[in-house]
Amino acid sequence: MVQGVGFRPFIYRVAVKNGLTGFVQNRPEGVVAEVEGPSAFVDAFGADIRLELPPLACITNIECTDLEIRHDQNFQIIPSDAKGHADVHITPDSATCPDCLQELFDPTNRRFRYPFINCTNCGPRLTIINAIPYDRANTSMACFPLCRECLVEYENPADRRFHAEPNACPVCGPQLTLLNAEGKPVETADPVKTAIDLLSSGHVLAVKGLGGFHLSVDAGSSEAVKILRTRKYREEKPLAIMVRTIDQAMQIACVSPEEETLLTSPQRPIVLLKKIQSGLISDSVAPHVPNLGIMLPYAPLHHLLLDDRFTALVMTSANQIDEPICTGNREAIDRLQGIADYYLTHNRDILVRCDDSIAFVADRKPRLMRRSRGYIPQPLHLKETYPPVLALGGQLKTTHCILKGRFAFVSPHIGDMETPQARDFFHESLALMKRITESDPQIIACDLHPAYYSTQAAQELPTERIIQVQHHHAHIVSCMVDNQIGGDVIGLAMDGTGYGTDGNAWGGEFLIANETGFQRFGHLQYLVLPGGEKAIREPRRIAASLLRTVYGASWQELAHKLNLIPDQVQVELFEKIIDGKIHSPMSSGLGRLFDGVAALIGLRLSVSFEGQAAMELEALAAGSTAPPYPFDILRNDDNPYIVDTTAMIRAILADLQAGQSKTIIAASFHQTIIDVFAVMAGEIRKATGLNRVALSGGCFQNKILLEGAINKLRHSGFDVYSHSQVPSNDGGISLGQAVIAASMIKKGM
Ligand code: ZN
Ligand code: ZN
Ligand code: FE
- pLDDT score at 718: 98
User: 151 in a domain, yes or no?
Assistant: no
Task: Tell how far the Cα of 65 is from the centroid of ligand 3, in angstroms.
Answer: 47
- pLDDT score at 97: 95
What are the angstrom distances between the C-alpha of 400 and each of 151, 230, 447, 726?
38, 33, 12, 12
- pLDDT score at 86: 47
CATH number reported for the structural domain that contains residue 43 in this entry: 3.30.70.100
542 and 431 in a common domain: no
676 and 573 in a common domain: yes
When divided into structural domains, the chain yields a total of 4
Task: Tell how far the Cα of 53 is from the centroid of ligand 2, in angstroms.
Answer: 27
What are the angstrom distances between the C-alpha of 119 and each of 24, 51, 162, 168, 696?
20, 20, 8, 9, 38
672 and 554 in a common domain: yes
Number of H helices, E strands in the chain: 23, 27
pTM: 0.93
Average pLDDT of the chain to the nearest whole number: 94
- Rounded CA gap, 556 and 65, in Å? 78
198 and 285 in a common domain: yes
User: 600 in a domain, yes or no?
Assistant: yes
- Rounded CA gap, 23 and 8, in Å? 9
What pLDDT digit, counting tens, does each position of 112-170 carry? 999 999 998 999 999 999 887 788 888 999 999 999 999 999 988 889 998 899 999 99
Q: State which residues form the domain around 640.
A: 491-721
456 and 427 in a common domain: yes
- pLDDT score at 135: 83
- pLDDT confidence bin for 388, thresholds 50/70/90: very high
512 and 651 in a common domain: yes
- pLDDT score at 436: 87
User: 85 in a domain, yes or no?
Assistant: no
What pLDDT digit, counting tens, does each position of 494-534 carry? 999 999 999 999 999 999 999 999 999 999 999 999 999 89
Last residue of a domain, one of 42, 57, 77: 77
User: 162 in a domain, yes or no?
Assistant: no
- Rounded CA gap, 384 and 407, in Å? 9
Ligand positioned closest to the Cα atom of 506: 3
CATH number reported for the structural domain that contains residue 436 in this entry: 3.30.420.360
- pLDDT confidence bin for 83, thresholds 50/70/90: low
3-class SS string, 323-383 = CCCCCCHHHHHHHCCCCCCEEEEECCCCCCCCCECEEEEECCEEEEEECCECCCCCCEEEE
- pLDDT confidence bin for 88, thresholds 50/70/90: low
Ligand positioned closest to the Cα atom of 736: 3
How do strand 401-410 and strand 380-391 relate by DSSP bridges? antiparallel
CB atoms within 10 A of CB 420: 9
Ligand positioned closest to the Cα atom of 146: 2
Task: Tell how far the Cα of 198 is from the centroid of ligand 1, in angstroms.
Answer: 29
427 and 464 in a common domain: yes
User: 543 in a domain, yes or no?
Assistant: yes
pLDDT-above-90 percentage for the chain: 82
User: 149 in a domain, yes or no?
Assistant: no
Evaluate if residue 255 carries a pLDDT over 60.
yes
Residue length, the chain?
749
Task: Tell how far the Cα of 494 is from the centroid of ligand 3, in angstroms.
Answer: 7
What pLDDT digit, counting tens, does each position of 193-224 carry? 999 999 999 999 999 999 999 999 999 999 99
Task: Tell how far the Cα of 351 is from the centroid of ligand 2, in angstroms.
Answer: 22
Last residue of a domain, one of 326, 346, 366: 346
Task: Tell how far the Cα of 197 is from the centroid of ligand 1, in angstroms.
Answer: 28
425 and 335 in a common domain: no
Least confident of 96-100, 172-176, 323-327, 363-367: 323-327
Task: Tell how far the Cα of 540 is from the centroid of ligand 3, in angstroms.
Answer: 22
Task: Tell how far the Cα of 147 is from the centroid of ligand 2, in angstroms.
Answer: 4
CATH number reported for the structural domain that contains residue 284 in this entry: 3.90.870.10
Ligand positioned closest to the Cα atom of 104: 1
- pLDDT score at 63: 75
Give the CA dihedral 8, 14, 18, 24, nearest 10 degrees: -10
Task: Tell how far the Cα of 148 is from the centroid of ligand 2, in angstroms.
Answer: 7
- Rounded CA gap, 719 and 190, in Å? 58
Task: Tell how far the Cα of 170 is from the centroid of ligand 2, in angstroms.
Answer: 6
Residues 736 and 478: beta-carbon distance below 8 Å: yes
Evaluate if residue 535 carries a pLDDT over 90.
yes
Ligand positioned closest to the Cα atom of 153: 2
CATH number reported for the structural domain that contains residue 525 in this entry: 3.30.420.40
222 and 284 in a common domain: yes
407 and 456 in a common domain: yes
604 and 741 in a common domain: no
Task: Tell how far the Cα of 98 is from the centroid of ligand 1, in angstroms.
Answer: 7
Task: Tell how far the Cα of 54 is from the centroid of ligand 1, in angstroms.
Answer: 11
User: 122 in a domain, yes or no?
Assistant: no
Task: Tell how far the Cα of 591 is from the centroid of ligand 3, in angstroms.
Answer: 10
- pLDDT score at 21: 95
User: 702 in a domain, yes or no?
Assistant: yes
What pLDDT digit, counting tens, does each position of 7-46 carry? 888 899 899 999 999 998 877 667 788 999 999 999 999 9
What pLDDT digit, counting tens, does each position of 393-433 carry? 999 999 999 999 999 999 999 988 888 989 999 999 999 99
Section 609-614 average pLDDT = 89
Ligand positioned closest to the Cα atom of 145: 2
Task: Tell how far the Cα of 413 is from the centroid of ligand 1, in angstroms.
Answer: 26
Ligand positioned closest to the Cα atom of 303: 1
What pLDDT digit, counting tens, does each position of 35-63 carry? 999 999 999 999 999 888 888 788 777 77
Task: Tell how far the Cα of 137 is from the centroid of ligand 3, in angstroms.
Answer: 41
Task: Tell how far the Cα of 145 is from the centroid of ligand 2, in angstroms.
Answer: 8
Last residue of a domain, one of 346, 368, 399: 346
Task: Tell how far the Cα of 95 is from the centroid of ligand 1, in angstroms.
Answer: 8
520 and 412 in a common domain: no
